[in-house]
């Protein structure tokens, strides 16, 4: 797992970034095991520890406020953390962010540094969302949670420190990118930030096969996630779950795609970008060369890769939030 040889033919075809090799090398030294070889509880704890170990730290001179968003689908409500930097203007945009983790692992806590960096460097208000996870909560409960939070933010801008004129966008990585892309089909927002999004649960694009056995996210792990959050196999073709399968994209807001080159989800991200572009939607796209899936919330390790991606994201938000 830790060496170039572990990448097989992929390692011969692509130049793997040193930050990628260092990450998997250290993961081996730490005794990390694939999620599919663990129980759900063990996988969640492993994800938490890995995320905190590699996220690093950052200075943040601002406020972090906690809210419970009321929901008809979730009796206890949906917890969110709202980040606002001290230099954030009243008319600053709002980014509602959904974490990754295959809808099975991941948490707001794992994305604390990510949200601070985006809130500070844009600057904007970031709403970090704790949606429910599978297998305790099957699809579409995750979608119901993020749709609820997005609508709530749009109707309560002043409550979270924004103004009535503040623009609202959604964003997320991996499964969170799936949820962000999907919610845009049902809620009117002003922009979307899609970080290596899962847009097609039928897994029909070439990169799913190309990276089927590589370190990190691969075919076995994807199947493990899907087995836990599908209620039935037919849900793979539900457009809410596979937004690539929607018929109309013309009403969607501008989008930026952050793509990892060495990622099974790479081509479904490109395919979704092409659907939007063909429908006349403005899209930006950055591909991080030699980068693996799941780097975005670990800037402590992926310093150069995250630096490039965060710069592109903050520039995009500033551009489309005026």
CATH number, span 4-319: 3.40.50.1820
Q: Kindly write down the DSSP assignment for every residue of 36-91, as one continuous string.
A: GGS-HHHHHHHHHHHHHHHH------EEEEEEEE--SS-TT-EEEEEEEETT--TT
Which percentage of the chain shows pLDDT scores above 70?
99
**pLDDT category, 285, cuts 50, 70, 90?**
very high
Q: Report cis status (omega within 30 of 0) of the bond before 63.
A: no
| Strand-pair partners of 173 | 195
Q: What pLDDT is stored for residue 6 in this prediction? A: 85
Q: What pLDDT is stored for residue 322 in this prediction? A: 72
Q: What pLDDT is stored for residue 320 in this prediction? A: 82
What is the phi/psi pair of residue 164, to 5°? -65, -20
Q: Is the pLDDT of residue 4 over 90?
A: no
Question: Distance between CA atoms of 320 and 322, rounded to whole angstroms?
Answer: 6
Q: What is the mean pLDDT of residues 91-103?
A: 97
Q: What pLDDT is stored for residue 1 in this prediction? A: 43
Q: Is the pLDDT of residue 137 over 60?
A: yes
* Whether the Cβ atoms of residue 190 and residue 184 lie closer than 8 Å to each other: no
**pLDDT category, 174, cuts 50, 70, 90?**
very high
* Whether the Cβ atoms of residue 136 and residue 62 lie closer than 8 Å to each other: no
What residues are annotated to the active site?
Answer: 174, 263, 293
227: tokens are: 């087995």
pLDDT in tens, 289-318: 999 999 999 999 999 999 999 999 999 999
pLDDT in tens, 115-136: 999 999 999 999 999 999 999 9
The domains of the chain are located at: 4-319
Question: Distance between CA atoms of 288 and 260, rounded to whole angstroms?
Answer: 5
**pLDDT category, 207, cuts 50, 70, 90?**
very high
Q: What is the mean pLDDT of residues 86-98?
A: 95
């Amino acid at each position: 797992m830790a060496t170039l040889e572990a990448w097989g033919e992929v390692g011969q075809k692509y130049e793997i970034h040193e930050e990628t090799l260092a990450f998997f090398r250290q993961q081996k030294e730490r005794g990390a095991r694939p999620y599919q070889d663990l129980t759900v509880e063990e996988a969640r704890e492993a994800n938490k520890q890995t995320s905190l170990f590699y996220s690093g730290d950052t200075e943040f001179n601002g406020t972090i406020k906690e809210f419970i968003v009321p929901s008809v689908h979730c009796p206890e409500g949906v917890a969110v953390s709202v980040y606002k930097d001290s230099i954030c203007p009243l008319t600053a945009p709002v980014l509602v962010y959904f974490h990754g983790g295959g809808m099975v692992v991941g948490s707001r806590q794992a994305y604390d540094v990510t949200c601070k960096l985006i809130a500070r460097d844009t600057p904007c208000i970031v709403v970090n969302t704790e949606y429910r996870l599978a297998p305790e909560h099957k699809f579409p409960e995750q979608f119901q949670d993020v749709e609820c939070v997005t609508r709530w933010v749009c109707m309560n801008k002043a409550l979270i420190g924004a103004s009535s004129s503040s623009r609202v966008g959604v964003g997320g990585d991996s499964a969170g990118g799936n949820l962000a892309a999907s919610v845009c089909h049902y809620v009117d927002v002003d922009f979307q930030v899609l970080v290596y999004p899962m847009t097609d649960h039928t897994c029909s694009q070439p990169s799913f096969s190309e990276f089927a056995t590589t370190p990190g996210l691969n075919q076995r792990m994807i199947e493990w996630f899907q087995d836990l959050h599908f209620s039935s196999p037919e849900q793979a073709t539900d457009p809410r779950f596979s937004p690539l399968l929607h018929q109309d994209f013309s009403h969607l807001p501008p989008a930026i795609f952050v793509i990892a080159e060495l990622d099974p989800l790479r081509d479904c991200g490109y395919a979704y970008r092409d659907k939007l572009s063909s429908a006349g939607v403005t899209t930006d796209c950055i591909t991080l060369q030699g980068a693996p899936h799941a780097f975005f919330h670990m800037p402590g390790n992926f310093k150069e890769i995250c630096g490039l991606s965060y710069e592109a994201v903050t520039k995009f938000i500033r551009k489309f939030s005026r």
